[in-house]
Amino acid sequence: MGRLAGKHALITGGTSGIGLETARQFLKEGAKVAITGRSVERLEDAKRQLGGDVIAISNEAGDIAAQRHLAAQLGEAWPALDVVFINAGDVTHRPLEDWDEATYDALFATNLKGPFFLVQALLPLLKAPASVILCGSVSAHIGLPQSSAYAASKAGLLSLARTLSGEFKDRGIRVNGLSPGPTETPALGKLGLESDAEEALRREIRRLVPIGRLGTPLELAKAAVFLASDEASFVVGTELLVDGGVGNL
C-alpha cells in the first residue's frame, strides 16, 4: 500500500517542474490527484504525462474569485481533501530600481494573497488529519541580489505556515513550509531577465550551493510526499529546507 493511499491531493502549479514531479510521486504513492495551471494546453500535456484519473483545472493563482471557484470544483468532484501543496508561484527577479507597482502586485497576488485565500476557500473540504504544504524558498533566508520582492513574498508564505498551524491545530490540519534551494526547473528560464543577466544570475546561484549542484524536482517531490503522509504527523508549523545547504552552511 502506498504512503498516500486513499488520500485526495491538490497541487497548484502542477504542469511542470516540482509541481509536475510531485503529482507523479503522489500518484505512485496511491493518492488521487488534482493539478492546476494557467495554460490549458500545458494542463492537457501534464494530464497525458500523468495518466490515470488526474483532475486538471485551469486556474489563475493570483485571482481570489478563481481560488473560490477551484474549491467549489473540488467539492463537486471529491468528498473531502487530505493534502494541499501550494506550489504555483511567480519567480520574477529584477533589480530594485526596475520594479513597478503592477509587477510587484502581480507577484504578491500569486505568491501570497492567492494562497491565503485558497486555504480559506478549501477549509470546509479539509478533513482531519490533513496536510497543507506551502512552497517557500531558501531565498527568504539569504540576500540573493534581484530577489527582493520574490524573497519577501516567500517569507510571508512561510510565516503563514506557522500562524495557520497555530490556528488549525485543534482541527487536525498540519501546515508546513517546503523550501527549495536552487533547483533545475523550467522556472529558471522565467525570471523576466535579459539573457546575459539571467546567465549571470544562474552562475551566482550555482556558486551558492555548498554541495556544488542544483537540486532536482524529484528530490523536492520526495520531501513533499513525506510532509503529505502520516509519517509527518508530528511535523507542524515548521519549514523543511531542501536546498543543498544554502540556507545553513
Of 62, 58, 87, 108, nearest in space to 177 by CA: 87
CA 171 to CA 233: how far, in whole Å?
13
- Can you give the three-state secondary structure of the chain, one letter per residue? CCCCCCCEEEECCCCCHHHHHHHHHHHHCCCEEEEEECCHHHHHHHHHHHCCCCEEEECCCCCHHHHHHHHHHHHHHCCCEEEEEECCCCCCCCCHHHCCHHHHHHHHHHHHHHHHHHHHHHHHHEEEEEEEEEECCHHHHCCCCCCHHHHHHHHHHHHHHHHHHHHHHHHCEEEEEEEECCECCHHHHCCCCCHHHHHHHHHHHHHHCCCCCCECHHHHHHHHHHHHCHHHCCCCCCEEEECCCCCCC
Told to judge if 150 belongs to the known catalytic residues of this protein, a careful annotator would answer yes
CA 162 to CA 55: how far, in whole Å?
29
Q: Which of 26, 85, 108, 150 is catalytic?
A: 150
**Catalytic residue IDs:** 150
